[in-house]
Each structure stands twice: as structure tokens, then as C-alpha cells.
Amino acid sequence: MTITTCIFDAYGTLFDVAAAARIAAGEPGRERLAEVWPKLAQDWRLKQLQYTWLRAITGDHISFWQVTQDGLDWAMEASGLEDPELREVLLALYWELPAYGEVPEMLHVLKSKGYQTGILSNGAPDMLEGAVNFAQLGDVLDAVLSVEDVGIFKPARAVYDMVGNRFGCAPGEVLFVSSNGWDAAGAAAYGFRTAWVNRAGEPLDRLPGTPAHILSDLTSIPHLAETL
């Protein structure tokens, strides 16, 4: 079945989630953060994801923005950072995460080749709008889909259902791309063709679905879509 639609996870896939801590650490007077920012960024992201999984299991759904704040609070405490002003700086920077360098050209190439493109994300609609606008990607995305429309986080099947409902395509027509191994696995089990962007060189997750393709960045996505 020919690929008609290329769908991307947002955070960590199109947008650099470590950038908020890295940028803040470079500001004057942030010497303490500069010492620990990689740990802070890693802990923040891990807790953010863990809280989405746990809330999906328990049915206690809240906005991804609240999950993001809760994850940061845990990460700051774990790094011994008690600084309300820094907390506000980090949260503000999360609304302006830069896209990875290859993202704009990759999406422009996909659009020039006639593919439908979109984001499917745990992010809240206003967060996603902010990220897309900051990265100036609105003209190369046909839709930005948020789990808020179904009230449960990935990898629930109801989230992946949103792609077919919006684009009118079968799962086999979708190339789904994520930097999260568990997300790529969930999408593969759902029936999407999948690519895992394994930027960190992590091991493959032991889950029912297996990503069909493993990449180091997004550069080759247009070529991959043509060959499937």
C-alpha cells in the first residue's frame, strides 16, 4: 500500500525538548543550572512521559501542560534546585522549543512530493500551536492533532485512530515517525508503517510492536516514504 500521509510526534521528534534547560543554563547567573542541566532535562522528560502513561492507565487525564509542570517540579527537586524564578524561565522556554535542524527542509520536501503531513502529539493544542508557530512550520503541516480531543495519552489506540479520522486514510498508508521507541512500537502494533528516530542510540524497546525502520535523524524521511 502506497504511503499517502506522514505523521510526526512533536516533542523530541520535531522539537528539541532538551533545549529549554540548555538555553537557560547558558544565561548569566545560572552557574548551578549549568552544572546539572543535562540531568535536569533528562529527568524532566522522563517524568513527563511516566506521568502520561500512569494517567492513561488510571484514567486521571489532565492537560499535557500540567504534566509538563509536574515533571519539571520533580526534576528540579531531584537536582536540588529550589528557584521559582528559574522554574518560570524553563516553562516559558518550553513554549519556544526549536525544531531540529533538518526538520523544515524535510517537511518542505514531503509537501512538494504531495504527501499529507501532520503532527500527532500528547501536547495540548495551545502548546503545539506555540511550538509550530515559533518554528514557522505551519505552512508545511496539514493538521496538528492533540490527544485532548480524545482525553487519553499515547499509546492508547484512540489516539492513533485520530489520524484516519482526520485524513481519511488506512493505517497502511501512514508513515508514522517518532523519537520515542515506545510510541513507534505502539504505532507499529496499531498498523502504521513506522520509523523510530533514535537520536540517542538507545536499545530497542521490548514491546509488542516493532518499528520497521530505525533512523538517526529525519533527513531521509522523504526518501523512505517513496520506497515503502
Residues designated catalytic: 9
Closest CA to 158 of 146, 141, 175, 170: 146
Cell numbers given for 213: 525502520
Q: Quickly tell me which residue has 516514504 as its cell.
A: 225
Closest CA to 212 of 193, 187, 186: 193
SS (H, E, C) the chain: CCCCEEEECCECCCECCCHHHHHHHCCCCCHHHHHHHHHHHHHHHHHHHHHHHHHHHHCCCCCHHHHHHHHHHHHHHHCCCCCHHHHHHHHHHHCCCCECCCHHHHHHHHHHCCCEEEEEECCCHHHHHHHHHHHCCHHHCCEEEEHHHCCCCCCCHHHHHHHHHHHCCCHHHEEEEECCHHHHHHHHHHCCEEEEECCCCCCCCCCCCCCCEEECCCCCHHHHHHHC
